[in-house]
């Protein structure tokens, strides 16, 4: 504690650590950036310090979050003799198996890769005494329920479970009722409460005004800025435009390798890049000091993710800004965000008379390749660039449904990505967590029509758009409803 320079516990730490040390199950909910990680790591380290074998297990939804937790666990645990193994996708599985076989004190993992190791018989979790579920709502939302059930089945019934998040959805509440035993509920702030010191602003724009507004806002200061997009395609496009405008920029999304994602995040932390363009894999738990501005270039898939996104700024008592670009299609999503945050998001006038804005808009319109971006901006937000659906259905495949093949060979259990136009050369095999990220960042499942989500607010009236610029099938008119679901 002295090494960490902790003078006094935060509210979530003061209320969650005592019951956790006493062996009680705990559900913790507090605003992001208030010390939730230490609230479960400190009692975890204290309780497993004297136990042999893998007595502690921490699950988190993304590799970046697992690696961040591992860094803090090493800081607190190394002086107590705590050893650890990190089990995540995108890295050498054989090395992870060897690390787990050394019987570390802690295993920190993503559910997909840990489930893969369980199937191979390389992991024995029978000695686990404490389980931590960090950002449980995101794990459920990403479709990790089967993997979580598989992991839970491998754990002993007599264990302690700690669950922490900034938002507690109905799915998490139901999951907690089935998994935890008489938990102590610690809710320092109501679920969905945004960071108090993040100044929120909403700009009502047309589709073509998003990029000029982004350039205009970046030109007003030199703050470190995190830009969120809904899909990996948009993230790549926005990064390209920012680079052309002279801003040092990196990107993180599911199609980037683990090394590329680590390099981008570390470069952003060190200040090598002023801007980081990311999908929602960067919205949960990542702790980067001094992010002054979070910009929602696109609103998130679910309103709960809005809280996590803007929580990347104004952390640990600091101040920050959170700007969101919305179009007419986003009205219902904005209403849902305002319901869960229990506040009206303040609207701010778009600086259309600003010289920088007008110059950026003129440059945007002048570029011939901007037509492709405008198609993506104007199309329904869940529309992929795919050909219209054909009447004939392909024969069902035993595994890897919907995945592309390489060289005409059927996909393995870990299929290659569905990048289509995004694929550049040989792609690395993808595990379960990669496929979960793919589904979430892909606009729609392959072969399905675009449309509103089944589980998130979407506007029923939307402008029509040509998803792929092809005329081989009927196109939807403006405002026509559709039948797709959001990418998960």
If pLDDT is split at 50, 70 and 90, which confidence band does 128 have? very high
Q: Which of 220-224, 265-269, 337-341, 470-474 has the lowest mean pLDDT?
A: 470-474
**How far is it, in rounded angstroms, from Cα 448 to Cα 41?**
43
Mean pLDDT of the chain: 77
The pLDDT of residue 427 is above 70: no
The pLDDT of residue 60 is above 70: yes
**How far is it, in rounded angstroms, from Cα 280 to Cα 440?**
9
**How far is it, in rounded angstroms, from Cα 464 to Cα 381?**
11
Average pLDDT estimate for 223-249: 93
Percent of the chain with pLDDT over 70: 69
If pLDDT is split at 50, 70 and 90, which confidence band does 449 have? very low
**How far is it, in rounded angstroms, from Cα 14 to Cα 25?**
16
Average pLDDT estimate for 147-153: 94
18 beta partners: none
**How far is it, in rounded angstroms, from Cα 395 to Cα 20?**
52
**305 close to 280: Cβ distance less than 8 angstroms:** yes
Burial class from Cβ neighbours inside 10 Å (0-12, 13-18, 19+) for residue 154 reads middle
The pLDDT of residue 410 is above 60: no
Total-model pTM: 0.59
**DSSP state letter for 389:** P
Domains of the chain, CATH where assigned = 11-187 (3.40.50.300), 198-378 (3.40.50.300)
Model confidence pLDDT, tens digit, residues 366-406: 875 555 555 556 555 444 444 444 444 444 444 333 333 33
Q: What is the pLDDT of residue 191?
A: 64
* SS3 (DSSP) at 439: helix
């Amino acid at each position: 504690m002295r090494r960490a320079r902790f003078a006094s516990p935060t509210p979530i730490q003061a209320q969650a650590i005592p019951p956790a040390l006493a062996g009680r199950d705990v559900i913790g909910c507090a605003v992001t950036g208030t010390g939730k990680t230490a609230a479960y790591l400190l009692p975890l380290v204290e309780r497993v310090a004297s136990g042999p074998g893998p007595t502690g297990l921490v699950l988190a939804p993304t590799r970046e979050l697992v690696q961040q937790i591992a860094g803090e666990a090493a800081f607190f645990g190394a002086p107590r003799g705590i050893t650890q193994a990190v089990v995540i996708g995108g890295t050498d599985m054989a090395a992870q198996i060897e690390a787990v076989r050394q019987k570390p004190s802690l295993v920190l993992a993503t559910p997909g890769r840990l489930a893969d190791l369980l199937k191979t018989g390389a992991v024995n979790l029978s000695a686990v005494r404490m389980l931590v579920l960090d950002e449980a709502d995101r794990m459920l939302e990403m479709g990790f329920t089967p993997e979580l059930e598989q992991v839970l089945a491998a754990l002993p019934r007599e264990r302690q479970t700690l669950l922490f998040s900034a938002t507690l959805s109905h799915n998490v509440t139901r999951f907690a009722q089935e998994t935890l035993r008489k938990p102590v509920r610690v809710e320092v702030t109501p679920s969905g409460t945004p960071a108090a010191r993040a100044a929120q602003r909403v700009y009502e724009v047309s589709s073509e005004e998003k990029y000029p507004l982004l350039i205009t806002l970046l030109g007003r200061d030199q703050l470190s800025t995190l830009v969120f997009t809904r899909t990996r395609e948009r993230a790549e496009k926005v990064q390209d435009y920012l680079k052309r405008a002279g801003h040092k920029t990196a990107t993180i999304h599911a199609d980037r390798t683990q090394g590329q994602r680590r390099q981008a995040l570390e470069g952003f932390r060190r200040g090598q890049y002023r801007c980081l363009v990311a999908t929602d894999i960067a919205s949960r738990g990542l702790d980067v000091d001094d992010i002054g501005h979070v910009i929602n270039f696109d609103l998130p898939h679910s309103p709960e993710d809005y809280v996590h996104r803007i929580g990347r700024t104004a952390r640990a008592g600091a101040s920050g800004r959170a700007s969101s670009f919305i179009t007419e299609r986003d009205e219902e999503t904005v209403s849902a965000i305002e319901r869960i945050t229990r506040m009206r998001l303040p609207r701010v006038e778009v600086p259309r008379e600003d010289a920088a804005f007008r110059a950026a808009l003129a440059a945007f319109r002048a570029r011939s390749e901007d037509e492709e971006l405008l198609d993506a901006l104007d199309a329904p937000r869940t529309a992929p660039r795919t050909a219209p659906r054909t009447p004939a259905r392909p024969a069902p495949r035993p595994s890897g449904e919907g995945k592309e093949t390489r060289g005409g060979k059927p996909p393995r259990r870990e299929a290659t990505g569905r990048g289509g136009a995004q694929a550049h050369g040989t792609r690395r095999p993808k595990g379960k967590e990669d496929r979960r990220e793919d589904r979430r960042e892909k606009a729609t499942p392959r072969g399905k029509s675009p449309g509103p989500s089944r589980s998130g607010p979407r506007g029923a009236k939307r402008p029509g758009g040509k998803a792929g610029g092809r005329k081989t099938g009927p196109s939807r008119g403006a405002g026509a409803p559709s039948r797709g679901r959001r990418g998960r």
